């Protein structure tokens, strides 16, 4: 009987110790739900492949916070693991924002977005060029070898119209009310205020990405 009792005792000790061991191994998360980020319920789908963790930034070219944030994002992107897929999404609530969203999507359609993206911010915020009229956008696109006709065709294309409708639907599903806004994997929305520390916002994004990786 003693060996059996000894075995039962060991089993009991193991079961008692297991939660302690697991607790010690649990990540010590720094940021809190309801304070630094909110959880989307239900979780929303993303446009990224299943093996990727999507980080989406909703932005507006006319937003000075977005302009300043973009420089931090460019540096942040260089250090991301291959599992992370970062995407920009131009937000739109009014006519001006729609024109800037069309500018983003049209430049994407003519394969000049990578070259022009930062320049659009600079044109608006440092050169006093609002770029809210089609003619002004056509002249801007000519910097990159895009003719006015080609730009206009892209601006009015079916793909741009479809993208605008999809963006409006995403904003509704993600409950985007201001920019910039960061959505991690269709599950978390980072809280942003006018006083938010830009590097810390990306720290929050990093932790939410780490949470997603830990669940795989």
Q: What is the DSSP letter of 91?
A: -
Does residue 155 sit within a domain?
A: yes
Of 70, 122, 62, the C-alpha closest to 96 is: 62
80-129 tens-digit pLDDT: 999 999 999 999 999 999 999 999 999 999 999 999 999 999 999 999 99
Banded pLDDT at 25 (limits 50, 70, 90): low
* Residue 46: strand, helix, or coil: coil
Tally of structural domains, the chain: 1
- 164-176 per-residue burial string, b: 16 or more CB within 10 A, e: under 16: beebeebbeebeb
Average pLDDT score over residue span 165-188: 97
Average pLDDT score over residue span 52-61: 99
Of 162, 163, 74, 60, the C-alpha closest to 120 is: 60
Checking if the pLDDT of 7 tops 90, the result is: no
If you average pLDDT over every residue of the chain, what do you get? 91
> What does the pLDDT read at residue 185?
98
* Residue 89: strand, helix, or coil: strand
- The answer to whether 117 and 107 are in contact (CB under 8 A) is yes
> What does the pLDDT read at residue 117?
98
132-168 tens-digit pLDDT: 999 999 999 999 999 999 999 999 999 999 999 999 9
Does residue 69 sit within a domain?
A: no
- The answer to whether 189 and 182 are in contact (CB under 8 A) is yes
Does residue 49 sit within a domain?
A: no
Checking if the pLDDT of 18 tops 70, the result is: no
Does residue 101 sit within a domain?
A: yes
Does residue 23 sit within a domain?
A: no
Does residue 25 sit within a domain?
A: no
Does residue 149 sit within a domain?
A: yes
Percent of the chain scoring above 70 in pLDDT: 88
> What does the pLDDT read at residue 26?
61
> What does the pLDDT read at residue 27?
78
Give the residue with greater pLDDT, 81 vs 17.
Answer: 81
The residue range of the domain holding 120 is: 95-159
pTM assigned to the model: 0.87
The 181-184 sheet, strands edge to edge? 37-39, 188-190, 181-184, 53-59, 84-90
Does residue 108 sit within a domain?
A: yes
* Residue 145: strand, helix, or coil: coil
């Amino acid at each position: 009987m003693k060996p059996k009792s000894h075995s039962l005792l060991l089993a009991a000790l193991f079961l008692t110790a297991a939660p302690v061991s697991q607790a010690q191994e649990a990540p010590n998360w720094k940021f809190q739900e309801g304070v630094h980020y909110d959880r989307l319920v239900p979780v929303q789908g993303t446009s990224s492949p299943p093996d990727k963790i999507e980080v989406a930034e909703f932005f507006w070219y006319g937003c000075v916070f977005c302009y300043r944030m973009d420089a931090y994002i460019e540096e942040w992107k260089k250090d991301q693991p291959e599992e992370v897929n970062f995407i920009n999404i131009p937000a739109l609530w009014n006519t001006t924002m729609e024109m800037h969203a069309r500018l983003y999507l049209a430049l994407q359609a003519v394969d000049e977005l990578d070259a022009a993206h930062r320049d659009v911010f600079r044109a608006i915020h440092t050169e006093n060029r609002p770029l809210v009229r089609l003619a002004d956008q056509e002249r801007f696109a000519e910097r990159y070898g895009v003719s006015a006709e080609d730009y206009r065709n892209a601006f009015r294309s079916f793909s741009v119209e479809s993208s605008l409708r999809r963006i409006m639907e995403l904003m509704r599903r993600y409950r985007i009310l201001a920019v910039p806004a960061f959505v991690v994997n269709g599950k978390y929305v980072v809280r942003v205020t006018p006083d938010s520390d830009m590097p810390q916002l990306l720290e929050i994004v990093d932790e939410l990405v780490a949470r997603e990786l830990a669940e795989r």
